[in-house]
């Protein structure tokens, strides 16, 4: 027979209230929502959603953007005038 255990978390009031409002809008209380998260993490064997930064980028996208920026800096081309620049862009 399984026995229940308790988890205590500390979270700021604003975060708790915003999450609670979202969960209630879909018919869940905080405890049920957290249980769903934990069960889904077990089912998929990882965090059950894509982690994104405040701009909506995934970790993989951020890595790609950083690589693109580095590559662009390394292959920096200079131009003598606007026509050369436009021709260089549309090669």
d(CA 81, CA 41): 56
Query: Is residue 1 over pLDDT 70?
Result: no
Q: What is the mean pLDDT of residues 73-81?
A: 76
Query: Is residue 55 over pLDDT 70?
Result: yes
Alpha helices in the chain (DSSP H): 13-25, 30-44, 59-74, 82-89
pLDDT per residue as tens digits for the range 9-29: 999 999 999 999 999 999 999
Q: Give 33 or 53, the one with higher predicted confidence.
A: 33
Domain ranges of the chain: 9-49, 51-91
pTM of the model: 0.59
Q: How far is CA 79 from the centre of its chain?
A: 38
Q: Which token pair is 29?
A: 């209380």
Place of tokens 């090669």: 91
Whether 39 contacts 49, CB under 8 Å: no
Round the average pLDDT of the chain to a whole number and report it: 89
Q: If you count them, how many residues does the chain have?
A: 91
Q: What is the mean pLDDT of residues 40-60?
A: 92
């Amino acid at each position: 027979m399984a026995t229940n255990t308790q988890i205590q978390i500390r979270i700021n009031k604003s975060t708790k209230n915003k999450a609670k409002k979202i969960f209630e809008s879909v018919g869940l209380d905080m405890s049920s929502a957290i249980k769903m998260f934990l069960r889904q993490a077990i089912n998929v064997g990882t965090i059950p959603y894509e982690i994104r930064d405040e701009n909506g980028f995934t970790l993989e996208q951020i890595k790609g953007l950083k690589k693109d920026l580095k590559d662009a800096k390394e292959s920096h081309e200079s131009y003598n005038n606007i026509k050369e620049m436009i021709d260089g862009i549309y090669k």
